[in-house]
Amino acid sequence: MGQIIQLILGILTLVSMWKIFEMFGQKGWAAIIPFYNLIVLLRIVNWEAYKFWLFFIPIYNIYLAYLLYKDLAAKFGQGTPGFAIGILLLPFIFLPLLAFKSKPVA
């Protein structure tokens, strides 16, 4: 039963990322490609491409992920630190909120 729930939550997260990518003019299928989806997220939040390599530094990558999600949430008008922490810890709840309830601000 637990595996079915994990599968459903994983699919929900994937569909949410797909929709977010398409909202910003990126290819939705990029959400399913490991590492490339991070590069596309960096493009969406207007970060430099070299920051991709910084995600391989232990502990610092958690801080970078927080900053990335904070900037992503800000694109939807949800720039609070709590929302970024929510995406980091519970992406299956907070990413669908962005994808299906919010419209990009700018």
- What is the SS3 string spanning the chain? CHHHHHHHHHHHHHHHHHHHHHHCCCCHHHHHCCCHHHHHHHHHCCCCCCHHHHCCCCCHHHHHHHHHHHHHHHCCCCCCHHHHHHHHHCHHHHHHHHHHHCCCCC
Using a pLDDT cut of 70, give the percent of the chain over it: 99
Convert the pLDDT of each residue in 44-94 to its tens digit: 999 999 999 999 999 999 999 999 999 999 999 887 889 999 999 999 999
- Over range 2-31, report the average pLDDT: 95
- The pLDDT of residue 12 is 96
Give the range of the structural domain holding residue 19, as residue numbers without chain letter. Answer: 2-101
The answer to whether position 71 is within a domain reads yes
The answer to whether position 106 is within a domain reads no
Please provide the average confidence, as pLDDT, over all residues in the chain: 93
Query: How many structural domains compose the chain?
Result: 1
pLDDT of 26 strictly over 90: yes
- The pLDDT of residue 29 is 96
- The pLDDT of residue 31 is 95
- The pLDDT of residue 106 is 60
The answer to whether position 13 is within a domain reads yes
- The pLDDT of residue 80 is 84
The answer to whether position 34 is within a domain reads yes
The answer to whether position 30 is within a domain reads yes
